[in-house]
Structure 1
C-alpha cells in the first residue's frame, strides 16, 4: 500500500463526500423504487426487491449516521473494508432483484420505474464500494 492514503472525513462534512452522497442516493433511490414496485404489484419478485431495498436503506442510514455523528472514530474497526464488503454483496443481490423486477414487470410502468430506481441504487452502491476500496484496499 502506498504512503499517500486518502483520509476519511467524519462529521457533518461527510455529507459532501462521495460516500456521503452515495449513501443519500442509495436511501432515496431505494425508497422511491420500493414505493413504485410495491404499489400495484405483489408476489415473490416484489418480496425479493423489497428485501434488497430494505437492506439498502438500513445499511446506508446506519452508516451515514455513524459517520455524521463521529461514532466511527470512537469504535476501532476497519469501517472501509466492512463497507466495501457490504456494498459489494448488496449490489450483487440488488442487481438480481432489479433484473427480476424488470423481467416480471409485464409492462407496468410503475414497476419498470421502480426497477430503474433500483438500478440507480445499485450504481450508488458500486460507487460507494469503489470509494471505500480506494481509501483502504482489502488486498
Structure 2
C-alpha cells in the first residue's frame, strides 16, 4: 500500500469528481427547496430553513467556482479542514431546519417536496464531507 495522499483534482476536471458532483447537487437541490418552501410562506421556521438552504447554495457555489477556476492553488488555506467542518456544521443546521419545517407543515405537498430536496442536499453535504475526509484526513 502506498502512503501517498491522493492529489486534489482542480480545474474543469473537478466537475467529474464525487466532490464536484456533490457540490452541484447541493446547490441545485437547495435552490429548488428554497423555491418550494419560500412560496407564500413566512415565519421563523421558514426563515431558519431558508437561511440553511441559502448558506448551502452560496458556500457550495463559491467552493465550486474556486475549484473549477483553480483559485484554490493561489489561496493557501487548509481547504480540507474548512470543507469538512463546513459540511458537518451545515448538515446539522440543515437537518434541524428540515425537521422544524416538516413538523409544522407536513400536509402541504410543496413543503414536503422542499424538505425532501433538503434531505437530498444534506446527503450530498455528508457524502462530500466524507469523501473529503477520506482523501485528505484532518491530522
- TM-score over 0.5 for the alignment? yes
Residue range with higher mean Cα deviation, 53-62 or 4-13? 4-13
CA offsets, 1:15-51, max 9 Å, x none?
0001100000000000000100011322111100000
Residue 73 (structure 1) aligns with: 73
Query: Within 2, Cα distance between the matches of 1:135 and 1:76?
Result: 18
Q: Distance in 2 between matches of 1:3 and 1:77?
A: 23
Which ranges of structure 2 fall in alignment gaps of 5 or more residues? none
Q: How does 1:78-117 map to 2 (within 5 A)?
A: 78-117=78-117
For 2:58 and 2:22, the matched residues in 1 are separated by 14
TM superposition score normalised by structure 1: 0.96
Higher mean displacement: 112-121 or 3-12: 3-12
Segments of structure 1 that go 5 or more residues without pairing to the other structure are none
Write the deviation string for residues 46-88 of structure 1: whole angstroms up to 9, x where unpaired: 1000000000001100000000000001111110111001011
Q: Which residue number corresponds to residue 55 of structure 1?
A: 55
* TM-superposed deviation, 1:7: 1.5
Q: Provide the secondary structure at the position in 2 that maps to 1:40.
A: coil
Q: Which runs of 4+ in 1 moved over 2 A?
A: none
The 2-side partners of 1:134 and 1:106 are apart by 36
Secondary structure of 1:7's aligned partner: coil
Cα distance in 1 between the residues matched to 2:8 and 2:62:
17
Match of 1:45?
Answer: 45
CA distance in 2, matches of 1:120, 1:104: 20
